[in-house]
């Protein structure tokens, strides 16, 4: 459940007491029902991402926190303290399709593990797991960000959601949406049953995997209740995702909205191979030994012979160098110190040129600035489609890399 879902849930819970729910504070970087937006990068293919290692470039990005990839457990999303919400979000969109996620939910009261599809017009499809409810998985959907309060489903999971990996699958066509649990078809939503198709999720979706604190003490009371209570931060809680298969039922390079209707009929597909497709199918860089093996044998023996001569020469040179080096130990040390000084001076010049290195830390700052939404950080917007902005924790800060000497410089400059 994203920020939207939270707020709507809260609105739902309180609407009988207070005024009718105002439009919740949903977020999308650009809502194609309101204005023209850049096209969404498509997926246009089928691929299983095994999270024993970092996924291929340009396929997923971290919108918050840090994921550890492990050959045995897959991707580990750990919540260690208040404000932690670790989220991996696809850069690509699929337009009708299927995802199969093998996930083991995090334990802990008020800790929510989630698999979320979300679109630019705030269509959404969810699987959610409460760390305080080991027996149930929760399904949900939203059309155009609208909550009609009856969309959620709860599903008993044999063996429990916290103790082992389960196969959480959704299959989505323009006619219907299906939720499958370990190979069993457990729920169907027919498009016509979702407000006569108007609230049916039907626009290109991104896939997000994340952990967040539904029970953050600063969250709305209704959300905390939904989450099963105030989040237990006394120990770390980890959600694991072994793999995620994504199948895009459309093929193309980009999806864009042809009008403001937010309907599947309005989606235009630009043909071609998607960035994600190219990245996944890129030939791996050949290793040196592969390149060597590719050489014809005549070339190889020539190289061996030459190498013999070169080797002998090198050996002599090395002896000479070694002897000389011993004498030059002192000089080397002096040179290293000089180099360090040069780097320091360079950094100083960098700053004098008016390029404030801190300004580069925009991601972190921006994220922090939304502190008020800490509990709902899951819904914090990702970078605009096509943006290459990196994960927030990876911001480059030259004042760190150049050692303590750089710090006083900042002050000197400020004067």
Ligand X SMILES: *[C@@H]1O[C@H](CO)[C@@H](O)[C@H](O)[C@H]1NC(C)=O
Task: Point out which residues bind ligand X (CB under 6 A).
Answer: 100, 132-133, 135-136, 146, 148, 154, 167, 169, 180, 183, 195, 198-199, 228, 272-273, 281
Q: Which of 128, 254, 278, 283 is catalytic?
A: 128
Residue 265 falls in the annotated catalytic set? no
Residue 84 beta carbon to ligand X: minimum distance, rounded to whole angstroms: 23
* Tokens coding 250: 């459309």
Strands 153-156 and 136-142, by their bridges, are antiparallel
Nearest residue to 270 via CA among 31, 37, 42 = 42
| CB closer to ligand X out of 198 and 363 | 198
| CB closer to ligand X out of 165 and 367 | 165
Contact in structure between 364 and 393 (CB atoms under 8 Å) = yes
| CB closer to ligand X out of 272 and 391 | 272
DSSP designation for 67: E
Residue 231 beta carbon to ligand X: minimum distance, rounded to whole angstroms: 15
Q: Which of 68, 124, 184, 283 is catalytic?
A: 124
Residue 147 beta carbon to ligand X: minimum distance, rounded to whole angstroms: 8
Residue 283 falls in the annotated catalytic set? no
Cα(88)–Cα(66) distance, integer angstroms: 9
DSSP letters for 175-210: SEEEEEETTEEEEEEEGGGTTTTTTS--S-EEEEEE
Cα(235)–Cα(233) distance, integer angstroms: 5
Residue 288 beta carbon to ligand X: minimum distance, rounded to whole angstroms: 25
Cβ-based burial of 172 (10 A; exposed 0-12, middle 13-18, buried ≥19):
buried
| CB closer to ligand X out of 133 and 208 | 133
Residue 195 beta carbon to ligand X: minimum distance, rounded to whole angstroms: 4
Residue 359 beta carbon to ligand X: minimum distance, rounded to whole angstroms: 38
Distance set, CA 248 to CA 28, 46, 325, 357, 382 (Å): 22, 6, 61, 41, 21
| CB closer to ligand X out of 154 and 218 | 154
DSSP letters for 142-186: EBTTB--S---EEEE-TT-SSSS-EEEEEEE-SSEEEEEETTEEE
Q: Any idea which residues carry the catalytic annotation?
A: 124, 128
């Amino acid at each position: 459940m994203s920020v939207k879902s939270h707020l709507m849930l809260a609105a739902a819970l309180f609407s009988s007491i207070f005024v009718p729910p105002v439009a919740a504070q949903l977020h999308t970087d650009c809502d194609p029902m309101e204005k023209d937006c850049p096209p969404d990068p498509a997926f246009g293919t089928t691929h299983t991402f095994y999270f024993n290692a970092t996924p291929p470039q340009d396929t997923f990005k971290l919108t918050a926190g840090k994921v550890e990839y492990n050959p045995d457990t897959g991707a580990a999303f750990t919540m260690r303290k208040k404000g932690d919400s670790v989220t991996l979000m696809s850069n690509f969109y699929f337009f009708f399709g299927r995802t199969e996620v093998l996930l083991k939910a995090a334990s802990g009261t008020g800790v929510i593990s989630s698999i979320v599809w979300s679109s630019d017009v705030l269509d959404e499809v969810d699987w959610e797991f409460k760390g305080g409810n080991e027996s149930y998985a929760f399904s949900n959907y939203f059309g155009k960000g609208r909550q009609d309060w009856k969309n959620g489903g709860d599903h008993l999971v044999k063996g429990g959601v916290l103790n082992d990996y389960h196969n959480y699958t959704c299959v989505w066509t323009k006619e219907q949406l299906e939720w499958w649990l370990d190979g069993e078809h457990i729920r169907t939503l027919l498009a016509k049953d979702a407000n006569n198709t108007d609230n049916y999720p039907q626009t290109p979706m991104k896939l997000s995997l994340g952990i967040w604190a539904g029970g953050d003490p600063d969250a709305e009371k209704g959300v905390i209740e939904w989450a099963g209570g105030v989040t237990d931060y006394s120990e770390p809680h980890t959600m694991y995702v072994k793999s995620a298969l994504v199948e895009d039922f459309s093929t193309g390079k980009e999806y864009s909205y042809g009008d403001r209707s937010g309907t599947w009929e309005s989606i235009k597909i630009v043909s071609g191979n998607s960035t994600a497709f190219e990245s996944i199918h890129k030939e791996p860089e050949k290793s040196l030994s592969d390149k060597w093996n590719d050489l014809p044998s005549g070339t190889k023996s020539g190289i061996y012979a030459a190498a013999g001569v070169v080797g002998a020469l090198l050996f002599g040179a090395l002896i000479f160098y070694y002897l000389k080096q011993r004498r030059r130990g002192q000089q080397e040390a002096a040179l290293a110190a000089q180099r360090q000084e040069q780097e320091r001076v360079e950094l100083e010049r960098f700053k004098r040129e008016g390029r404030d290195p801190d300004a580069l830390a925009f991601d972190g700052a921006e994220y922090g600035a939304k502190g008020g939404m800490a509990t709902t950080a899951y819904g914090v917007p990702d970078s605009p489609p096509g943006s290459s902005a990196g994960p927030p924790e990876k911001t480059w800060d030259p004042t760190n890399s150049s050692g303590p000497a750089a710090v006083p410089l900042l002050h000197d400059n400020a004067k």
